[in-house]
Amino acid sequence: MAHETEHTSNHPTFNQYVLIAVILFAITIVEFVLIWERAGIVGYLGASKVPLLVALSAVKFAIVIMYYMHL
């Protein structure tokens, strides 16, 4: 039989998973507010919303890759 090797990678704890989920949720809320025209909260941003949304999406992508995919 083959010998099993121990995995020594540090996986996030449950509390870290919850914290990351809350951060992802908060970023999603910010994105939603940015695209919701009726709210009028950030209507003055105009076309600068697009780079901001891309940046927020990139942050979410990086968080998912680092924590949930263990890369």
pLDDT in tens, 1-36: 566 666 666 777 899 999 999 999 999 999 988 888
Sign of CA dihedral 13, 14, 18, 19: negative
Supply the pLDDT for residue 12: 76
Contact in structure between 57 and 24 (CB atoms under 8 Å): no
Tokens of 54: 């891309």
Asked if 52 and 34 touch (Cβ cutoff 8 Å), the reply is yes
- The model carries a pTM of 0.73
Distance CA 8, CA 29 (A): 36
55: pLDDT confidence band, cut at 50, 70 and 90?
A: very high
How much is the pLDDT for 57?
A: 96
The CA distance from 19 to 9, in Å, is 20
- The pLDDT, as a whole number, for residue 13 is 87
pLDDT confidence of residue 21: 94
